[in-house]
Amino acid sequence: MQETRETWQSNIGFLMAAIGSAIGLGNIWRFSYMAHEHGGGAFLVPYLTALLVAGIPIMLLEYGIGHREKASSPLALARIHRRFEGLGWWMPVVAMFGIMLYYSVIIGWCANYLVYSFTLAWGDNPQDFFFNHFLQLSESAAAWGGIRPSILLATALVWLACWLICFRDIRHGIEKAAKLFMPLLLILTAIMVVWTFTLEGAREGIFNHYLNPDWSKINFLSADPEARVAAGRVWAAAFGQIFFTLSLGFGIMITYASYLPAKANLARNAVITATANCAYSIFAGLAVFGIVGFMAHSQGVGFAEAIKGGPQLAFVVYPQAISLLPDFNALFGVLFFLVLVIAGLTSGVSLIEAFSCALTDKFDWPRKRVVSVLCLLGLLGSLIFTTRAGLYLLDITDHFITSYGLVLGGLLQCLIVGWFIGPEKLRRHISRLGSRVPTAWNLFIRYLTPLALGILLLMALYGDLTANYSGYATRHLLLYGLGWLLCCLAVAIVLSRKPWRAAKLKRRHRPGEDELLV
């Protein structure tokens, strides 16, 4: 296929935006504690399976829907059939009010750590520093214990940055920043990975705990019922992580693909985005397991006892690594956290973009006002996660929103394409634009992927009903987990109530490409 320069340029822009959305805190912060919690090597097998069974097929599906309907997720799904619009709202609502609210706070943590890096303020016990000095963590999710001013300040700055970028529409700037900072992130991570290999005990952590799958931990057909439930949880967490890290089920990829020119190689883009993102996570994991191995070695304890698992892991392990570097520690730390802040912002901005596009598509409100109101609401909603109980609250919300909210969004999209539109139509649409999608994709979207996601949802549910997630009190799980999901559902229903102007629901054909649209 002869591609003109112009198309190629916009394709790169799209790819950068899509990768910028995918690569974020999920790759460093979330991946590391998920992998650590679920036994390292035992996590990688379900993770890669999830990438193949759900990640790549659904990414293709979202690109396909967005490109075919040329609309944000609610409008795209409403164009397929009016009754699917609710799902089109559910996805960005869950992402905005379920994820972005705490995600912005974690970007704020990174901003704080950027400042701490100048003096390596965490000293020689980063774990103690994080819990007791930085978060001043309360005893339980019930004790909010007031707002932490430094976290609030940083979170407010994060929302301000999101607002500035979206309001002034300097997405070009973000694209340029992504082009500069993504490679920088990779280089900094590579330095850390190489360096950790020289530390004592690191190889043990990497080769015995990370690159060495423990099949018994992932055998969900095990004869022992307890092992079965535990394995189910590992699988559910791996699938959840794939959705989170690839920004699937957020409505983001649909919106981004809708901005593409008529001819764009969707299949190739999907494979590149997914592979680049996951390869990066797995690579960064080497540093995490290396450092934990080193910590175990230097404390003379087993790998599992070396560090307390949970959402704080990256904020203990990476500072530790930064302190251990032979030279330029402060410079390195500042750069590392700066890049993390930027990676987080490119992800956050992609969502505000998708959500405001959805609102303007439907209500014709002025874009700038929508962005301002969204960012203000976002900041207000984030406040709860800046309290001294923030870590508990975001852990609970994140668990429920990701394993149920995002996965459900993916499952329903498969059912709509698989059984309503018919995957063959979408497959042909995508294939005609560039690289061919194998026919097996139809089988995935129709049977395999929804079946796998359905079973996973059940396994996650079964796990959560058998034992409270991370030992939190039942009422907190109901309030911040289930309650949060139900609120998102209510918002999605309200937003989808209002009727559309009929003209909008008609697909706008681009001149000269009618034959592409089925």
Shortest Å, Cβ 419 to ligand TRP: 28
**Which of residues 273, 350, 356, 402 is near ligand TRP by CB under 6 A?**
350
CB-based closest residue to ligand TRP: 26
Give the nearer residue to ligand TRP in terms of CB position, either 423 or 481.
481
Distances (CA, A) of 446 to 49, 87, 412: 18, 18, 11
Give the nearer residue to ligand TRP in terms of CB position, either 27 or 127.
27
**Contacts (CB under 6 A) with ligand TRP, residues 243-262:** 244-245, 247, 250, 252
Give the nearer residue to ligand TRP in terms of CB position, either 158 or 321.
158
Q: What are phi and psi of 394, to 5 degrees?
A: -75, -30
**Which of residues 348, 410, 463, 481 is near ligand TRP by CB under 6 A?**
348
**Contacts (CB under 6 A) with ligand TRP, residues 445-504:** none
Which DSSP category does 265 fall into? -
Sketch the per residue contact string, 9 through 28, with ligand TRP: x for CB under 6 A, - otherwise: ------------xx-xxxx-
Count of residues of this chain found to bind ligand TRP when the rule CB under 6 A is applied: 19
Give the nearer residue to ligand TRP in terms of CB position, either 25 or 75.
25
Give the nearer residue to ligand TRP in terms of CB position, either 26 or 205.
26
Distance between CA 101 and CA 489 in Å, rounded? 16
Query: Does the protein bind ligand TRP through residue 47 (CB under 6 A)?
Result: no
Distance between CA 459 and CA 55 in Å, rounded? 19
**Which of residues 112, 255, 347, 386 is near ligand TRP by CB under 6 A?**
347
Q: Are 311 and 101 in contact (CB under 8 A)?
A: no
Q: What value, to the nearest 5°, has the Cα angle with vertex 252 and ends 247 and 253?
A: 80
Shortest Å, Cβ 80 to ligand TRP: 23
Across 354-393, the runs of DSSP E, i.e. the strands, are none
Shortest Å, Cβ 473 to ligand TRP: 27
Q: Which helix (H) or strand (E) holds 499?
A: none
Which DSSP category does 168 fall into? T
Shortest Å, Cβ 243 to ligand TRP: 9
**Which of residues 77, 100, 182, 339 is near ligand TRP by CB under 6 A?**
100
Distances (CA, A) of 451 to 251, 445, 454: 21, 9, 5
Distance between CA 322 and CA 329 in Å, rounded? 6
**Which of residues 53, 56, 71, 99 is near ligand TRP by CB under 6 A?**
99
Residues 6+ positions from 321 with CB-CB distance below 8 Å? 192, 195, 196, 287, 291
Within 198-224, residue ranges assigned H as helices are: 202-203
Site for ligand TRP, rule CB under 6 A: 21-22, 24-27, 95, 99-100, 103, 244-245, 247, 250, 252, 347-348, 350-351
